Structure formats: C-alpha cells, structure tokens
Amino acid sequence: MAQIAWYAITLFCLAMYVLLDGYDLGIGVLLLADRDDERRREMVELVATAWDGNESWLVLLGVALFGGLPAAYGVLLPALYVPVLVMLFAIIFRGVAIEMISAAPGFPRGWGWAFGLGSLVASFAQGVTLGGLLSGVALRGGVFAGASFDFLTPYAVLTGFAAVALYATAGAAVLRVKTEGALYRRAMLAGRAALVATVALAAASAAALAPATATPVRLGEPGRLAAFVVLVLVAAAGLGLAGRGFGRRPDWVATAGVTAAEGAGLAGLLVAIYPVVVPPRLDLAAAAAPAGSLNFLLVGVGVNLPLVLFYNWYAHHVFRGKYRVLLAARPTGQSAAARATDPTPATPRGKVTP
C-alpha cells in the first residue's frame, strides 16, 4: 500500500509540474516568434508572477524519486544525465533572464532571447528525457549498463518536438486567459498552429511507442484496456475543446481543454505500462524503498505537499484576471511580482506623483 501511495505522489508531482511549468515554458517558446517589445515584456512579466512556484514541483519530483523510488532514481540519473543537465541549465538561464528583464527599463532584447531559448531548450530536453526513458534503459544487476547517449533515439527526438508543441499550446491557452488586445489575438493564432502540431506529434508518438521502444504495453486485461480507451477519448476531447477555445469565448475553455488532454494523456501512458517504472523491466516493487522508509516519508510529504499546493494557489489567486492592471500600475523597471508587494500607491506611467 505504501508503495502505491508513494508512486501516486510521485506521479502527482510530475503531473503538476507539466501542467503548471508547462504553460510558462510554452509562453517562453511563443515569445521567440513575437517581435514587439511591449508584448514580449508582458509575456515575461506574466511568467514572473508564478514561475518559481511552478518549478517547485520539479524539486518535489526529484525528492520523491530519490526518497521513495531510490532504485529508479539510481538508474535514471546516469542514463539521462545529459538531457536532465541540459534542462536544468536552461531553466536556470531563463530564471536569470526573467529577473533581468523585470528589473530593466524597456525590454533588453538579449535577455529576451535568453528567456525564449532557455524555455525552448528546457521544453525539448524534457520531451527527450521522456522519450529516452520510454526507449528503454539498459540494466545489469539492477544498475545502469548503457552509454551516456543511449537516450538519444529517433523516438526521443520525436517526443522532444511533441513536448515543445504541447507546451506552446498550453502557453497560448493561458495567454488567452490573462491578456487582451494584440497579444490576445496573437495567442489565438499561435494556439491554433501549436495545437495542430501537438495533435500530429502526439499521435505519432503514441503510434510509435510499441514498435519503436522497449516499453512493455500491457493492454491485454479488459479492465486496463477499457480505462486506456476512456483516457484516450478524454485526451482527444480535451484537444478538441482546446481547438474550440482558441476560436471563441469564454477564454478559459482552451486552458481547460489542454489541461484535460495533458492529464488524460499522462494517465493513459501509466495505465498502459504499470507496474513498470523504468522500461523495460524495473517495476514498482523493485524500485521502491522499504515499507518503513516509505511510511516515514509519507508523514513529511503529508505536511509539505499541502503547503506547496497552497503556495501555488495563492500565487495564481493574487495575479488572477487580465494582466492589463498590473502593467498599467507597474513603474518602469519594477517587476509585476514586486509591484504586488510594494505598499507604494500605483502611479500610471507618464505621470508624476506630487
């Protein structure tokens, strides 16, 4: 029971990271296609309000793997060192870029490119990490027995592009909710294009999973097959809803559709391969820590997980609604996050306080 509970917690952290940090990585990807400095600053400021909280789920995911699934952690880290390190450096680089842009007057284009490219590289590296994992990890005696670049398969490259497209779709959906005017309209067009790419790449990734990877797909049981079919239908419906949301109001429809598709797609993959944790052979029973350790860890997670959830909720609650008010109220060179905690009354740009 403790093994299943910890596995569920690990997957929950993964899902929350994909849902939350996925959209702000996607906004960074979309920034690369925009040449208007005011819109680009607006996109960065929007990400600055929540990116650090969103990325807390990546930290929790690492802790969950290290503490609760140590055998999986010990295998995955050497097998996926390269894409994981590339992802982490890209995330650090874009974090620095966010702070530099928020603190600078105007829009420093060099840091804008750093933010966009950091988002693109991190997104692609995450997709490659997933594809490399699904391609299979060579094991001998319970330890990694492959080479440093075994992860780099055609399937991993495919899932890398799929992750970029999916995150761009999620970013466009959030921009629909949070912005208006020219950026709102551009988000609609970008979202449609990214959604088409997402559907094509996701379908190709799903179709190639069994023939192109070492991942065991276990759909022979009627109950498992039924659950998988339902989840696939939910994911397809979510993508359809997102397409509808990019064409008409209310603005939240596209975000709801993308969220449903991401959650159902991840759940469908897990249903298809459970109890395998690291393809092709390492399962949950072999990967999990002893029951006593898991029970001890569950106490700590029971305290910390609600705090992280509250922190994320609060950050999004404080900056709810359209973003125009924050931009109008923010003095030049001050980030939106700093504006929210600054007790000084807001003064519109171009006016001087007596």
In this structure, is the dihedral angle defined by the CA atoms of residues 107, 113, 114 and 120, taken in order, positive or negative? positive
Does the residue 98 lie in any domain? yes
Does the residue 331 lie in any domain? yes
Does the residue 259 lie in any domain? no
pTM: 0.88
Q: What is the pLDDT along the chain (354 residues), one digit of tens a residue?
A: 788 989 999 999 999 999 999 999 999 999 999 888 888 998 998 998 888 889 999 999 998 999 889 999 999 999 999 999 999 999 999 999 998 988 888 788 889 999 999 999 999 999 999 999 999 888 888 788 888 899 999 999 999 999 999 999 999 999 999 988 889 899 999 999 999 999 999 999 999 988 877 788 888 888 889 999 999 999 999 999 999 999 887 889 999 999 999 999 999 999 999 989 988 888 999 888 888 888 888 888 888 899 999 999 998 888 888 876 444 444 444 554 554 444 444 333 333 333
213: domain range? 2-217+282-341
Residue 166 contacts residue 202 (beta carbons within 8 Å): yes
- Judged by DSSP in three states, 219 sits in coil
Does the residue 163 lie in any domain? yes
Length of the chain: 354
- Beta-carbon count within 10 A of 33 CB: 11
d(CA 129, CA 151): 7
Does the residue 266 lie in any domain? no
CA dihedral 82, 133, 32, 97 (to 10 degrees): -50
Amino acid at 293: S
d(CA 309, CA 345): 30
Does the residue 252 lie in any domain? no
The tally of domains found in the chain comes to 1
C-alpha closest to that of 214 among 129, 296, 276, 263: 276
d(CA 181, CA 230): 38
Does the residue 12 lie in any domain? yes
d(CA 324, CA 7): 41
Does the residue 241 lie in any domain? no
